[in-house]
Amino acid sequence: MKNPDRETVANLDALPNIGKSISMDLASIGIMNPQQLVGADPFDLYDRLCDQKGTTVDPCVIDVFMSVVSFMEGEDPKPWWEFTQKRKMIFGKNFKKD
């Protein structure tokens, strides 16, 4: 698992659980560098992404956003799926964005 230096990492796709696609998704909602994720609300990021795309994005993307915000705020890197249960507790198992 990727574990870059939080203070100096410059590219979104250098972060744990972030590849080219999610990096481009984040850029499309104005997140251009990893430091912008500190203090970000993963659920707000998800809503912004859905609005930007004009469709409901797979809710697992929330898990990815939760993982990367957690990492940038000082937690150890964890696989995105370790956040799935927390997301489901918040939104329910059958979460569907309106």
Question: Are 61 and 23 a contacting pair, CB within 8 Å?
Answer: no
User: Does 92 have pLDDT greater than 90?
Assistant: no
Give per-residue pLDDT as tens, 4-53: 999 999 999 999 999 999 999 999 999 999 999 999 999 999 999 999 99
Count other C-beta atoms under 10 Å from residue 49's C-beta: 21
| Architecture category of domain 12-91 in CATH | Orthogonal Bundle (1.10)
Alpha helices in the chain (DSSP H): 20-28, 42-53, 60-72, 84-91
Residue 86 to residues 22, 45, 80, Cα–Cα distance (Å): 20, 16, 11
Looking at residues 62-85, what average pLDDT do you find? Answer: 97
